[in-house]
Amino acid sequence: MSIFRSRKAGGKKVSCLLSALACCLFCLSLPALADSPLHRGKPAKYVFLFVGDGLGIPHRQAPEAFLAAMEGKAYGDVKMTMNTFPAQGVTTTYANDRFIIGSAASATALASGFTTNIGFIGMDPNLKPVRSIAQMAKERGMKVGIVSSVSIDHATPAAFYAHQPHRSMYHEIAHDLADSGFDYFGGGGLRDPEGTRSKAPRGDALEKARRNGYTIATDRRSFEKAKPGQKLIAWNANLPDGKALPYAMDATKEDISLAEFTRKGIELLNNSRGFFMMVEGGKIDWASHANDAAATIHDTLAFDAAIDEALAFAKKHPKDTLIVVTGDHECGGMTIGFAGTKYESAHEILKNQKISFQRFEDMLADYRKSHQGKASFEDMIPLVEANFGLKFDGTGPMGLKDYEIRSLREAFVHSMAGLREKGKGESYLLYGDYDPFSIKVTHILNQKAGIAWTSYSHTGAPVITSAMGVGEEVFNGYYHQSDLGKKLLSTMGFSPRYADAAPETGEIRQAAAAGF
């Protein structure tokens, strides 16, 4: 039926012609809508990709709201660096075989432009290895660095250098790292370099890395001594959980921050042929899985501080640098609003939390071990008041209501009994697979601040992608993260390809024209 109407005798024929013309124009526009634009100009020489693991849209707003409340400023007056970039896109995050994606499939899409299955590292859905942007950069003669606040063999960093059928193959991934030839790895350690959990151990991956010319730095002093020209694998001396850096709110001056690892990467990688560096804020995701708003915010701010290091470099090389910031998926179903606080917010309340949920869980584990059969809820009162600011006398904005204290008592009983359910039952819905008392304390604090969560897992919500520099304009719009991977590749003059495929002729010509 025509969308045009005419009251004149000859209007019916005109309206039909106009309808046909409109349909033709719409059909002609479909390819433009379907094909996400790529960069066709001069390739970027220095490329930074920042991946906030679990970094959804609320995760990018909550730190600003928290800082504004803390500083007595109006909402909107405080901006994180990532939110000031000129190009902003909305990115969807589904996998080939599941709507809610995991980090392995997500990172593979970002690194290669290929959509793949859950758990696959650097492989397509048929387990055929795909070439990552980092590997292409290395083939071109550029330097390459990979940085993460979690273990460097975790899913996101691994997708840039490894090809394995499952993300849990840490030993095999460590050997891929040792064989990668990349110039710099920094942040967390390796989970299984010797193969103690592998079905087919290949020997010590770190020894292989040393044979392949890598220097291994395991403390601040050796890290700071590293100079350009060295191939470096560096991690923090303190790796408290899963070979990862401490949560930002738990870190001390002796701990190396994500920003420092990024700054060192720039120092080591900077050269006349250019470089590619991927930096992951991995513990944003871990804090979000545990529904710890304060830890999430502090790790997001630490991630933004790392972006500041790239921005300082970009200001010196504005015509050659590209910085892209994205999330690989949303985590936790974080929302800025809670039924109990209605339209009100009190984000400054989160300042009362002094330690992450992980530190608190460790304290609870020690208490449980030393107080078997004689644990007392009353022992928790000074601990909670000191580390989270909640008041058991019920006074002030931090005062606990009777029903909140009852829920804490119930959670304490579960905690001391060591009860945790993996993904099922009422207990899981209440506490996930975390310590029940720790989860309940952080939930109550979050809710008083006006922040709530829907999940202990990832969600299918889209994320924001931000960009500034060479080719920034192609990152505007609405697109899937595999298209984001293609866009990123195009800014360096690359196209998606399999690991056994040679570079396309156009890539070679473009690189030559750019002086690579």
How does pLDDT run across 337-366, given as a tens digit for each residue? 999 999 999 999 999 999 999 999 999 999
Per-residue pLDDT, averaged over 50-79, amounts to 98
Residue 295 and residue 357 in one domain: no
Kindly state whether residues 383 and 328 are assigned to the same domain.
no
Q: What are phi and psi of 38, to 5 degrees?
A: -115, 160
Flag whether pLDDT at 240 surpasses 50.
yes
Amino acid code (one letter) for 158? A
User: Of the candidates 350, 345, 359, which has an alpha carbon nearest to the alpha carbon of residue 294?
Assistant: 350
Closest CA to 281 of 184, 182, 188, 164: 188
The CATH number covering residue 281 comes to 3.40.720.10
What confidence score (pLDDT) does residue 21 get?
Answer: 37
Within a domain: 36: no
One domain, residues 129 and 198: yes
Report yes or no on 20 lying in a domain.
no
Last residue of a domain, one of 449, 471, 490: 449
Same domain, 466 and 427: no
Same domain, 109 and 217: yes
Please report the pLDDT score of residue 315 as a whole number. Answer: 99
Look-up of token digits 């110039």: 183
The pLDDT tens digits for 20-54 are 434 443 343 333 334 689 999 999 999 999 999 99
From 36, 103, 288, 345, the catalytic residue? 103
- 513 SS3 class: helix
Task: Encode burial over 395-431: b for 16+ CB neighbours within 10 A, e otherwise.
Answer: eeebebeeebbebbeebbebbbeeeebeeeeebeebb
| Percent of the chain residues topping a pLDDT of 90 | 88
pLDDT of residue 510: 66
Residue type, 342: K
Q: Is the pLDDT of residue 509 over 90?
A: no
Confirm whether residue 458 is marked as ligand binding: yes
First to last CA, the chain: 56
Whole-Å CA distances, 415 to 56, 364, 444? 30, 8, 16
- Annotated binding-site residue? 166: no
Give the per-residue pLDDT at 36. Answer: 80
Domain boundary among 449, 468, 488: 449
Residue 35, in any domain of the structure: no
Enclosing domain of residue 402: 347-449
497 and 480 inside one domain = yes
Is the residue at 427 inside a domain? yes
Q: What is the pLDDT of residue 506?
A: 64
Would the annotation count 289 as a binding residue? Answer: yes
Please check if 175 is assigned to a binding site. Answer: no
Rounded Cα–Cα distance for residues 302 and 288 (Å): 15
Q: Is the pLDDT of residue 9 over 60?
A: no
Average pLDDT for 66-84? 97
Domain limit, last residue, from 409, 424, 449: 449
Is residue 178, in this structure, part of any structural domain at all? yes
pLDDT of residue 516: 66
Cα diameter, the chain = 94
Asked whether residue 53 is marked as a ligand-binding residue, the answer is yes
Tell whether residue 328 is among the known ligand binding residues.
yes
User: Catalytic: 495?
Assistant: no
The chain-wide mean pLDDT, for the chain, equals 93
> Residue 50: inside a domain, yes or no?
yes
Residue 329 labeled ligand binder = yes
- Has residue 7 been placed in a domain? no
Is the domain of 322 the same as that of 353?
no
Q: Is 500 annotated as a binding residue?
A: no
**Alpha carbons 10 and 303: distance in angstroms, whole number:** 65
